[in-house]
Structure 1
Amino acid sequence: MSYLTRELKPYFERSFSPLITFIARFNVHPTALTFLGLLFVCIGSYLLFLESYLLSFLFLLAGALCDVFDGALARRTQNDGPFGAFLDSLTDRFSDAMPFVAIALSSQDKFLVFLSIMAMVSSFGVSYARARAEGLGYELKVGLFERPERWTVLLIGILLKEIYLALVVLVIGSLITVFQRVYIFMKEVRK
């Protein structure tokens, strides 16, 4: 489990507990937040394509927050079943891809396009390694660059208009995490 997930997520969820309670009072289903987050990411990615960085940052941040809140709301309202978890993971993959696609499509710089595609592929490698291990009956929640770290780097890069640097960090961090997961999984299956 990553540092951000292990150390900061519980604090973050406690901080926003009153907001989660408020949302729960209106009988908002967690799936509604999941799809609202996906919508925000779609809008933010389109704005990123248009190189409107501040607005893109705000919408992508809102989408990321919805992704945190949907899980907290599901746990609070006891709507945290397997279908919700499946749907959340599925929409996460679309949310992960869209900003990278927007960067690649908006750029005339071939190296930036390449970095964006590499960031997307390596990011998917991190997620797939965990999903495949879980499909085989193993838990694989380890790694330097899990989803919260990747989104944090991406959002900071967009806010500071340092897309190149953010993509380089994302590619390197994601590939390190893939190799960490492969190594840990190899050790687990050899026990």
Structure 2
Amino acid sequence: MPEEILNWMLGRLSSTGRIISALWPMLLLAGYFVIGLLVYVIRWKVVGPYRDEEIESRGSTVLAGMWFRQWFAWMIRPILRFVSWTGIPANAITTLSLLLAIGAGVSVAAGRFSLGGWLYIFAGICDFLDGRIARTTGTATPTGSALDSILDRYSDSAILVGLAWYYRDSWVLFATLLALVGSLLVPYVRAKGESLGIPVTIGVMQRVERIAYLGITVALSPILEALLVPNDPHPPHRLAMAGIVMLAFSTQLTALQRFFYLLGELGGKPFRMRASLGRNGIGRNAVASVIATGIDFASVVLMVQHAGLVPWLATALGCLLGGAVNFVINRIWTFGSDAQIGPQIWRYAFVSLTSMALNAGGVAVLLLLPALDYRLSWWLVRIAVFFAWNYPLHRDYVFIPAEPESPVSV
């Protein structure tokens, strides 16, 4: 038995051992929560749904609805009562959460994904408890709140830093860094909004979801690897990779959602992007760009294949034609601008030239990464320049409405 424990601690496990080590914590938690779910459904039918004010104040997301959040809060109540009964201070639970998260980061960096994933989940449960323990026992203080918020950022970073180390020679490193930045930006934008008196709780991925989805995919990934590549000493952990990519996308999306929402609430007109096909909407601007690009490409093909022009000259003429089409569609249909056309042409030319420079420079920079395909680089840069440069300047610099004439005094 001592030898088996030592082998488990050192990661010397067979394929079956890796599967068992990943499954047994899940079976324990599943048993607890499944039985609790049955009891909760009966309670919900007889008494009504459980309501947690803190959960309601944070709102729900697509990935975790309010019913699920309330059920989870109700399931944690027995643990909350027990910890409160022991008299353990809330700050101690906060620091325990950090220690578990650091252990999770070290574990995944060493390739022990099952151990790291479950440690991260238990760290999340501790984080869920600490604030409630403080309020239940009447020991909540501003110091404890600040400690909790700051250590949460360290906890979020710990496991992602560990994953970044494990995937340091893989493209997954880039996704992990995106997830790390997004995980830090999401709470930062919310905190900034609260400091300005604006609650910012929207988004598809809040902290509960981040812990649950990343922790579960990391914890269970050794099962898949033991079945697919049982003898690989450094398996790719495909399930964990999927969790990292999902986290990278969803946290960045949530951060941007909160960012634009906050700036819009503060009166930042340039950041209110209408996704519809209505007037001034980004949808119309995108349609105009697609039509212009299609005409540009088709004209180049026609001029090269049927008019006999050299490709570089046909490309230049195609750009001019596509630019003219884009200008006309945006002026008439997208923005409905009635200002003088002369200044708009010069401004449009400036935006187009700078956009060309940004696109070319962006692709050149991304291609410094040898593993990145040039086509993917083209799309990434094109989308970024469109959202960050082309559309805002088209709306607020090029196709601005005409200034109203001053009334003539008599």
TM-score in terms of structure 2 length: 0.44
Per-residue Cα deviation, 1:56-86 (whole angstroms, up to 9, x for no partner): 1221111111001112211211222222111
In structure 2, relative to structure 1, the CA distance for the partners of 1:76 and 1:9 (3 Å cut) is farther
Q: In the aligned structure 1, how far is the partner of 2:137 from the partner of 2:180?
A: 33
1:176 to 253, 256, 261: 253
Query: Whose RCO is larger (CA < 8 A, sep 6+)?
Result: 1
For 2:204, what is the secondary structure of its paired residue? coil
Unaligned stretches of 5+ in structure 1?
A: none
2:83 partner amino acid: I
Extract unaligned runs of 5+ from structure 2: 1-58, 222-238, 269-410
Q: Which runs of 4+ in 1 moved over 4 A?
A: none
Contact 2:101 2:120 in 1 (8 A): yes
Residues 57-66 or 72-81, more deviating = 72-81
Alpha carbon RMSD of aligned pairs, Å? 1.8
Cross-structure match for 2:157: 97
Q: Is the alpha carbon distance of 1:5 and 1:32 closer, same or farther for their aligned partners in structure 2, counting shifts above 3 Å?
A: farther
Percent of aligned pairs with the same residue? Answer: 28
Q: Tell me the alpha carbon deviations over residues 99-119 of structure 1, each in whole angstroms, 9 at most, x when there is no partner.
A: 111011122433111111111
Question: Quick one: which amino acid aligns to residue 31 of structure 1?
Answer: N
The one of 118, 135, 142 equivalent to 1:58 is 118
Does the CA contact (< 8 Å) of 1:2 and 1:145 recur in 2? no
User: After the TM superposition, which residues 106-117 of structure 1 pair with which residues of structure 2 at under 5 Å, given as runs?
Assistant: 106-117=166-177
Written as runs of structure 1 = structure 2, the 5 A alignment for 1:107-146 is 107-146=167-206
Q: Matches of 1:155 and 1:39 in 2, distance apart?
A: 16
Distance of 2:135 and 2:71 partners within structure 1: 15
| Whole-Å separation in 2 of the counterparts to 1:78 and 1:142 | 30
Residue 80 of structure 1 pairs with residue 140 of structure 2: yes
Mapped contact 1:38–1:95 kept (Cα < 8 A): yes
- Within 5 A, what are the aligned runs for 1:142-181? 142-161=202-221, 162-181=239-258
Return the index of the structure with the highest Cα Rg: 2
In the other structure, the counterpart of 2:60 is: 2
Equivalent residues of 2:107, 2:113 under 8 A apart: yes
Q: CA deviation at 1:6?
A: 4.1
2:103 maps to 1:43:
yes
Give the 3-state SS of the residue equivalent to 1:180 in structure 2: helix
- Cα deviation, residue 43, structure 1: 1.0
Native 8 Å contact 1:13 1:72 kept in 2: no
1:5 shift after superposition: 7.5
What CA distance in whole angstroms lies between the structure 2 residues aligned with 1:21 and 1:160? Answer: 30
Residues 130, 141 of structure 1: 8 Å contact kept: yes
C-alpha spacing 1:85/1:5, structure 2 compared with 1 (3 Å): farther
Q: Which has the higher helix share?
A: 1
